[in-house]
Structure 1
Amino acid sequence: MPHRPAQRIGPFALTRTLAWLRLCAIAGQSVAVLVCAWWMQLDIPLLPLLLGIGLLAVFSVFAAWRLRLPWPMSEWETIGHIAADTLVLGYLLYFTGGASNPFITLLLVPIALSAAALSVRAILAVAALAGVAYLILLAWHVPLPMPMHGEDGAHGGFSLHVVGMGVNFVISALLLGFFINRLAHALRVQQLEVQRVRERALRDEGILAIATQAAGAAHELNTPLSTMRTLLPELRREHAGDVTLAEDLALLEGQVDRCRTILREMVAFGKAQLSQEPERLSVDQFIHGCLERFQLLRPEAELGLELDQPTALTVLRTPPGLRHALLNLLNNAADASASCDSNAVMLQVTREAGWLQLCVSDRGPGFDDAADAALLGYSQKQTGLGLGLALAEATAERLNGELTAGNTDQGAKVCLRLPLAVIAEP
């Protein structure tokens, strides 16, 4: 995805708009021809006109089929669709008065739509196509028979032309207003998507920089940890008589082993990320594995779990980052509860409408307001790195999911929602 803002909507959006416009044209042209031939009793070549409308209907079916194909739509292919529409419109106008037909201004509609979606070169090509069609119809056409009114029929012909101009104005206004509004809406949506992708790319670059620093730190920490792991047992043996010091040294030895375990897990997690091979686990196995890891990190936490049997049996293709995202949410919840002298953390796992939902609740102060709840990358904690929610949100977006946050009666609640179509076994 390019990082510069898009300047054009694109050929595909225009071609799709032309497909809908073509259906309106087929209906309007059919009604106009039948009204002129049967109600107004004009002597127009009915069979050639219906043949032209039929050809446009056949091309409309082809265009709809083409839009369903996965191939990218080029500008010149879109110009080809516009050329087909212009050719059929020119064919119909040839048998109905040519340039004197008030509906000749419909040749401007493709130019207006192209100006909102294509490059300058393509717009010039469409304008040249419409100009050539107009010049040909100015020189060669079948005169439109006018109804007789009065002695020479001139007044009747002028009245019919004025009525046609009025109908043409209404049609042009409706078409241009409706379809250009659709193209403008598509442009706004595209600009918002580009902005969101740019923001996510900037955030991911920051996370990648931190991850690079963490990898270097993990590599450098391995040597001093190994040294401490070697010296601590010797110190314990030398000071075996000092019970208090021996207990402190035993605690330090346990913390060193814990640091080494964390570093090994970081290396294993990095290898898993590079291989992109997901683990195949049931929801029950995945959740209990995360909770065991969390209890080792936070033994003081009072963790509650709500997991129904059908959800527990769902088999997941667990991506490497999902476990760490859940652990980050649990750690944040434990910190929030601890700030209010509580150790309670609740995890609710549910499955609904094709989504797996992991909701973590705490007994903390909650978010200050709805704006803070929406800023998931922002941390209110005074300690820590402030990356837990940002990493969890990045994992959710990578898996086409979402991370939502809000307040409850007892604290805060953060939910990680993931589509089962992405993370579950078929």
Structure 2
Amino acid sequence: MDPRTPGAGAPASPALFELAPADEAHGAGLRNMQQLIELRWYAIVGQVATIGFVHFALDIELPLVTMLGIAGCLAAFNLACLVFWRPRQEVGDLALLAALLVDVAALTAQLYLSGGITNPFLFLYLLQVALGALLLPGWAAWVVVAAACAGVLGMVVSPGPVTIHANPARGVADPYVQGLLACFLLTAALAALFIGRIARILRDRDARLAALRQQAVEEEHIVRMGLLASGAAHELGTPLATLSVLLGDWRRMAPFTEHPDLQQDLDEMQAQLERCKSIVTGILLSAGDARGEAPAQTTLATFLDGLVSEWSATRPVCTLDYRRHLEADVPIISDSGLKQMIGNILDNALEASPDWVGMEVRLAGGDRQTLVLEVSDNGPGFSEQTLANFGKPYNSTKGRPGGGLGLFLSLNVARSLGGRLNASNRSPGGARVVLELPLAALLPPQPDPPDPDADDDE
């Protein structure tokens, strides 16, 4: 019998999975190392239990001191892995390969001392090979295969101190057959349990990589649009300045000075021209990172009230139901990107529901540290396809070129600020877009605390 048997029925160590949560901040390599550490605890418990059963119950003389010493060394190695990898964020292929080679070496030593090639638990090598093929790149997996083959060949060439005699005619009563059945059940159960977990970890990693690739493609798309918008804004500066000069000349010409109606038209044209200049200036500031160049400190309530006032004054909205639920105002840095993002959301709601647009603002989350902005309308709502592809460029039911870019840009601005944007349909009708932003992304930078050592030096 083989003391390497991974302790069927031994409880898993609950603290093991607390050493690092399986979240986005930790890599798949670290989580795979955790699985190997847990599997090794099973193996150590199984070794000790099997040594005692074989030596005392089956009366097979085993070198107890040496075999228990190997189990102790394996336990010490596992504790070292637990301490060393606990604060780490990622585990490389070489570390996983080294851990598996240690397991193969320990299995070889225990098999050599407890029957060698005649030990029915010889097939536990296949579990190590399967783990290597799943966890490691091709070259490293073949290193594990070579190590396992070397161990088997070594026991063929140099038999150990114990020989187990098989008598299959006795059926289940034969200790060798019992060990063979136990080996099969353990290998099948552990393979299903741990390889299933590891496969799930790898699938999660692939899903995250696919999401990151998609995000990179979307950000590249945004960069291209930003370059085009910045170039267009520069080009529009000259014609807008020319129109401003012409309007100033027209104001002094006789046909316009003698007719108040024409003067009123000139005033409206001048107002729209100023709005165009403001839009162009906003594009150029956004392209140059307005927050970094000219930060404007304000408060959350002032920022939102000003945004709503400006938006409602320049849009043909019948009713804007604006509700602000802020227990206390907080200072923030005015962000042009955030302002344009909220404007895009409001514009989409207005286009779907010209008669009524609702906007509700509140602080939520722990210690009220999340800004929640909800924009609602009474329009037809989102289609299932639009909701399924929400945030993708050109995902729109408007049927015109460029449709869907507003929400696409809004989603990416929210993502850049550490927030998220969700869409849903209201009951009985209409749509709802909810923006959630961490308030810390909008707070002004805090001054560094004074250095007491610097004062002492002075």
Tell me the TM-score range normalised by the shorter chain. 0.7 to 0.9
User: Does the alignment pair 1:323 with 2:339?
Assistant: yes
* Offset at residue 38 of structure 1 (A): 4.1
Which moved further from structure 2: 289-298 or 130-139?
A: 289-298
- CA separation of 1:186 and 1:308: change in aligned 2, threshold 3 A: same
The equivalent residue for 1:373 is 387
- What's the TM-score, normalizing by structure 1? 0.85
Q: Which residue is 1:418 aligned to?
A: 437
Aligned to 1:263: 280
Unaligned 5+ segments in structure 2 are 1-26, 447-458
CA contact (8 A) 2:29 2:90 kept: no
Corresponding position: 1:352 with 2:369: no
Distance 1:278 1:186 in 2: 43
Counterpart of 1:212 in structure 2 is 227
Out of 342, 349, 352, the residue aligned to residue 336 of structure 1 is 352
Residues 186, 375 of structure 1: alpha-carbon distance in 2 compared, 3 angstrom cutoff: same
Q: Counterpart in 2 of 1:199?
A: 214
Per-residue deviation at 1:216?
A: 0.9
- 2:151 aligns with 133
Asked if 2 retains the 8 angstrom alpha-carbon contact of 1:307 and 1:348, the reply is yes
1:232/1:249 contact within 8 Å kept: yes
Contact kept in structure 2, 1:393 and 1:402, CA below 8 Å: yes
TM-fit CA distance, 1:81: 0.9
Q: Distance in 1 between matches of 2:119 and 2:351?
A: 77
TM-score normalised according to structure 2 size: 0.79
Number of the residue aligned with 2:300? 283
SS of structure 1 residue aligned to 2:181: helix
2:410 paired residue among 392, 407, 419 = 392
Distance, in Å, in 2 between the alignment partners of 1:77 and 1:278 is: 47
Aligned partners of 1:366, 1:221: CA distance in 2, in Å? Answer: 36
Q: Quote how far apart the aligned CAs of 1:127 are.
A: 1.1
| Residue 17 of structure 1, CA deviation | 2.6
* Aligned residue number for residue 261 of structure 2: 244
Distance 1:118 1:350, change over 3 A: same
Q: Do 2:361 and 2:371's aligned partners in 1 also have CA atoms closer than 8 Å?
A: no
Match of 1:82 in 2: 100
* Partners of 2:164 and 2:176 within 8 A in 1: no
The 1:23/1:314 distance shift into structure 2, 3 A limit, reads: farther
Task: Please give the alpha-carbon distance, in whole angstroms, between the structure 1 residues aligned to 2:76 and 2:138.
Answer: 30
CA 1:418–1:424 in 2, change beyond 3 Å: closer, same or farther?
A: same
Match of 2:4 in 1: none
Using the aligned pairs only, state the percent identity.
Answer: 30
Aligned partner of 1:302 in structure 2 is: 319
Gaps in structure 1 of 5+ consecutive residues: 1-8
SS in 1 for 2:198: helix
| 1:362 and 2:362 aligned | no
Contact kept? 1:307, 1:350, Cα under 8 Å: no
- Residues 356 and 36 (structure 1), Cα distance of their counterparts in 2 relative to 1, 3 Å cut: farther
| Structure 1 residue identity aligned to 2:266 | L
Deviates more, 1:278-287 or 1:400-409: 278-287
Contact 1:236-1:250 within 8 A present in 2 as well: no
Tell me the residue number matched to 1:142.
Answer: 161
Q: CA RMSD in A?
A: 3.1
Aligned-partner Cα distance in 1 for 2:441–2:118: 59
Corresponding residue for residue 222 of structure 1: 237
Cα deviation code 1:381-410 (max 9, x no counterpart): 356842111011112333443321111134
Superposed displacement of residue 56, structure 1: 1.4
1:167 aligned residue: 182
| Partner Cα distance (1:34, 1:14) in 2 | 31
Q: Out of 44, 49, 67, which is 1:49 matched to?
A: 67
| Aligned partner letter, 1:329 | I
Q: 1:120 to 1:58 in 2, by over 3 A?
A: same
SS in 2 for 1:116: helix
Q: Give the conservation status (yes or no) of the 8 Å contact 2:251–2:263.
A: yes
